[in-house]
Amino acid sequence: MQNEKPLIAVLRGEARDIPPIWLMRQAGRYLPEYRELRGKIGSFLEFCYTPAVAAEVTLQPVRRFDFDAAILFSDILVIPHALGQEVSFESGAGPRLEAISEPAHLSRLREHFDVERLAPTFETIERVKGELPNSKALIGFCGAPWTVASYMVAGRGTSDQAPARLFAYRFPAAFAELIARLVEASVSYLLRQIEAGADVIQIFDTWAGVLAPTEFEKWVCAPVKKIVESVRAKKPDVPVITFVRGAGGRAPALARLLGADALSLDTSIDPAWAAANCSNKVALQGNLDPLALVAGGEALDRQIDSIVLALRGHPHIFNLGHGILPETPIGHVTRLVERVRAGRG
């Protein structure tokens, strides 16, 4: 029987002529209806933890563009927050955390991760589920341990994640402990999202690409694999997508190793090469350059067509190679969806 949700059908290995489409970071600042609601609530975390509002902004892009999936509106840094770290978001400056700059600072974190601290998020999922049409999938998510740890250690976003890389070299045992705690917290967080109604899970390892090979193995591959296996052991029917940004030539090996249902390709990866080198059992997601979507016009059309063509015959979910940029014109998103659905590639 055909799955009524195109996204899930593809994650089960079906190649479709018209790929399902959603966009990473599709809810947010490029939408006027988002900015209007955002202006009414002072802090970003309060915004995330108010279920009626978080549910509304989760649904906004699906209503406007008819995407095949909604992604839960929250942030990857709610896990450090629930672990007891101070987290805030300053407008225009990004996240600010109380940095873990030496091993002793790990004792500031709560001994026990209580997933129910994130109860508003589960209520958001329940609300979205109540309103989302049957043909649309609801994606839950978490940050991968390495990416989340990079913010916990630096106390902010950095261009090269140097503070966390240095911490991991200097204090490998303490860093391993931090990663282990994030694995455990992420697994219970994802399982609870699934219980609340998430149909699919995506794990974001945005900063994987900066690591040396031995470090990549320890802090990206092993923890993400453990999360995928632990979620799968309890919820075998829920597909998992992994976004390991900067995986480069390691992508086909990751497709085998991580055991995920899909690999989200960043912009730098040639989709035809990925399709030729990854098993048909692993769906590929991606990988339009977010700047092509800002530019629009011919450049956008050409890139859309070449991605659709390169991944035809392979289970494919159309997406960006990274999150949508706040300056993206809304008309370009409409044009993208129309063109993908016209099946021209």
Binding site for ligand 1CP (CB under 6 A): 25-29, 38, 44, 71, 73-76, 89, 91, 94-95, 141, 143, 147, 157, 204, 206, 323
169 is catalytic: no
> What is the rounded distance in angstroms from the CA atom of residue 301 to the CA atom of residue 95?
34
| Strands 94-97 and 87-90, bridge-based pairing | antiparallel
30 is catalytic: no
> What is the rounded distance in angstroms from the CA atom of residue 291 to the CA atom of residue 300?
9
Select 118 or 310, whichever has its Cβ closest to ligand 1CP. Answer: 118
SS3 17: coil
Select 189 or 314, whichever has its Cβ closest to ligand 1CP. Answer: 189
75 is catalytic: yes
Q: How near is the Cβ of 106 to ligand 1CP at its closest, in Å?
A: 21
Q: How near is the Cβ of 76 to ligand 1CP at its closest, in Å?
A: 4
> What is the rounded distance in angstroms from the CA atom of residue 63 to the CA atom of residue 48?
20
Select 203 or 310, whichever has its Cβ closest to ligand 1CP. Answer: 203
Catalytic residue among 12, 16, 29, 335: 29
Q: How near is the Cβ of 166 to ligand 1CP at its closest, in Å?
A: 17
29 is catalytic: yes
38 is catalytic: yes
By the 10 Å C-beta count (0-12 exposed, 13-18 middle, 19+ buried), 321 is classed as buried
Report CA torsion sign: 34, 40, 43, 45.
negative
Catalytic residue among 151, 165, 199, 245: 151
> What is the rounded distance in angstroms from the CA atom of residue 57 to the CA atom of residue 27?
6
Q: Where are the alpha helices (DSSP H) in 160-263?
A: 162-170, 172-196, 213-216, 222-234, 251-257
Q: How near is the Cβ of 2 to ligand 1CP at its closest, in Å?
A: 27
Select 252 or 323, whichever has its Cβ closest to ligand 1CP. Answer: 323
Return the residue nearest ligand 1CP (CB atom): 157
> What is the rounded distance in angstroms from the CA atom of residue 113 to the CA atom of residue 260?
25
Select 27 or 282, whichever has its Cβ closest to ligand 1CP. Answer: 27
Catalytic residue among 75, 156, 232, 341: 75
CA distances from 307 to 75, 131, 213, 302 (A): 28, 32, 29, 9
Q: How near is the Cβ of 22 to ligand 1CP at its closest, in Å?
A: 9
Which of the residues are catalytic?
25, 29, 38, 75, 151
